[in-house]
Structure 1
Amino acid sequence: MMETVTFRAMVPGDAGAVYRLWGGLFPAHPLSFGEFNDLLFCAGPIDFSLYRVACTEQKIAGVACGAADRESETGFIQFIGVAEGCRRHGIGRNLMDYLAGEFRKQNIRKVVFSGYPRNYLVPGLDAQQYPIGLPFFESLGFTVQSRPVSMRIPLDRYSPPPNPMPGDFTLEPFADEHLAGVLWLCREYLHPEWVETVQKGYIKGAHSCTGVVCLGPGREVAGFAFYGMVGDDPNRFGPIGVDPRHRGKSIGAALLHGCLRSQKEAGCPESYFLWGDEGSVAVNMYTKNGFSVFSSMAILEKEL
């Protein structure tokens, strides 16, 4: 018989139990406690009204964590799960209904799982690893909007190809003098949320970013490729970006191989990333240069 379940706001003392629940629910996506804290609690302003747990007398049986972007009127489900043995009792639906109600109070019009642009624990739902997830979300009215892929390349036998930079462009290891240019490029031409990723990585790396930059004829930053910037894993590749004014010159491929070379020299057995848009120019470039897909996700959305 199922124990009585109560629902309440998450409190700071729940963090350890919630982390252990994550480990049991998502074994294919292991995180250290530090990485978990970084992604869930350090990704920007926290609204604890969007952090909810379901409890029995013995344990936390379920959890749902959300984030709201009022500017885009979008809510994000960062993490939802119910412990095995407590499923099919309406716990997940109750947690999701609660978050939907809180989102409506904040004039949120659309909910996404997961795809949180600041930081995500997983990019989306891996239906192969977690087959109960997709029917659950579909029963709540969510539909699949996109299918990002996660890719990797082993580095034990990797040998960077000859990849000369075009014209007056040069490839160099990141140095302090490049930080402002990288941040400006992220904000003005690439992804503004990468500004925070690079800032945090620079501070974590004792005033350094691990990777390479491409410099233009005037020594301006025209592109960059980093690794080990998110979490504690130096094998994790990204972000990578090229000034759109300089695309079509094979700078992206040169940055990619410059970064892979750095990872191999640092002793990384592989390089991987968690999110690339299926069929995109970037994913085609990775495939052409030796990466292969190890996980296919689904980004799900629902209008409120």
Structure 2
Amino acid sequence: MQIRGFRPGDGAALVEAWRRALPLDPMSYPRFRDLVLLDANFDPDGLRIALDGDRLMGAAYAVRRRVAMVGGDLEPGTGWLPFFFVTPDARGVGVGRAVVRSALDWLRNQGAREVFFASYTPNYVLPGLDAEAYPEADALLRDLGFERRSEAAAMDRSLVGYRLPDELRARVDDLVAGGHRFGTPTGDDLVEVVRLAGEDFSPDWARAIRSAVVAGLPLDRIVGAWDPDGTLAGWAMHAAYENVLERFGPFGVRPDRRGTGLGRILLHLTLERMRAAGAHSAWFLWTGERSPAGQLYRSTGFAVTRRFAVLRAELT
């Protein structure tokens, strides 16, 4: 068995091996190119590939920051393991352990002292490990010293037959009569949307909004809420990630306006727009199942479809 870094010409074989290894999460070549090869932090040597002659048996992707997410912080002590896999015909002989160790060794040699699976931004494929779907991977990572740090819940909701609740429409009418505004942001309004997303929620959300709009996202995929004084109170959107119409988020309400029902209004107004655009469902990959947001989603008809464990290990 040979383990080496990624080389031009490996992509098609890697994607085909991925499809066989991870049947619940198949990958296309265009997505692999966009999420991995064209990521600003991609280093070919960090994508470790296990080969038996010309046969690709598995891969493990290690990444560290070459471009800061916030300011100039490259988080030099931290690395990420966004994915790894072994094809079914190569399992049981140590390929997975060897290729993951090779990826961890690469991170260690880059100066990383800790590694996370798989909460990498900006281009994570999945938030973490679905242990129910991939128990062998769970066992391997735990044996290599990974420990659970948190859990992300993916949720889905059918939009077939969806309609905006009458009481919510009446509530919106009352708020508008009192001076509130709900609707599509203008280009100028995006400055405040991006600021709120980046400062009060996540820098990656701000990046996602900017990137989506620059790539041509129609602004009617975003719903904003403004207080009577013109201050942005919150926003919700869909299709921000990879232009997937049915993917909801990101979504947030200003901290001092939470608990007022604005989040529920923004969620429903966005679901209504999604249905109008032809979406048959709404889904997202990451929320805290027991968080206030998770409870809001459940009360709106979303149900947990998968659970992902975010794992961490020290690199000693």
- Tell me whether the two structures share a fold, i.e. TM-score over 0.5: yes
Letter in 2 for 1:240: F
For residues 30 and 94 of structure 1, the distance between their equivalents in structure 2, rounded to whole angstroms, comes to 23
Q: 1:206 Cα shift?
A: 5.2
The 3-state SS of whatever aligns with 2:189 is helix
1:198 aligns with 2:173: no
Give the TM-score normalised by structure 2: 0.89
Please state whether the residue corresponding to 2:64 is helix, strand or coil.
strand
| 122-131 or 201-210, which deviates more | 201-210
Evaluate the alpha carbon distance shift between residue 58 and residue 99 of structure 1 in structure 2; reply closer, same or farther with a 3 A threshold. closer
Helix, strand or coil for the counterpart of 1:75? strand
Q: Deviations over 1:155-200 (max 9, x none)?
A: 0121222323455432102432322111111222110111221112
Q: Does 1:213 align with 2:209?
A: no
Is residue 202–residue 209 contact of structure 1 (8 Å, CA) maintained in 2? Answer: no
CA–CA distance in structure 2, aligned partners of residues 202 and 187 of structure 1 = 15
2:94 matched residue in structure 1: 90
Q: Structure 1 residue 84: deviation in Å? A: 0.9
1:156 aligns with 2:160: yes
1:214 Cα deviation (Å)? 1.3
What are the ranges of 5 or more consecutive residues in structure 2 without an aligned counterpart?
66-73
| Contact 2:233-2:254 at 8 Å conserved across structures | yes
Matched residues, percent identical? 31
Task: Find the residue that maps to 1:262 and give its secondary structure.
Answer: helix
Report Cα offsets for 1:70-94 as digits up to 9, x if no partner.
4262211111011111112222222
Do the aligned residues in 1 keep the contact of 2:61 with 2:83 (CA within 8 Å)? yes
- Distance in 1 (CA, whole Å) between partners of 2:149 and 2:76 is 17
Paired residues of 1:211 and 1:262 also in contact (CA < 8 A):
no
Within the candidate set 250, 266, 278, 1:255 is matched to 266
Q: Which runs of 5+ in 1 are unaligned?
A: none
Residue aligned with 1:85, SS: helix
Contact 1:174 1:210 in 2 (8 A): no
Distance of 1:209 and 1:29 partners within structure 2: 30
Measure how far apart 1:56 and its partner are.
1.8
Deviation of residue 238 (structure 1)?
Answer: 0.8
Superposed CA RMSD: 1.9
Q: How many residues align?
A: 300
| 2:68 corresponds to | none
Q: Shift of the alpha carbon at 1:19?
A: 1.7
The alpha-carbon distance between structure 1 residues 29 and 170, as it changes in their structure 2 partners (threshold 3 A), is farther
Distance 1:240 1:124 in 2: 21
In structure 2, give the amino acid aligned to 1:274.
L
The alignment status of 1:301 with 2:316, answered yes or no, reads no
Normalized against structure 1, the TM-score is what? Answer: 0.92
Q: CA deviation at 1:45?
A: 2.4
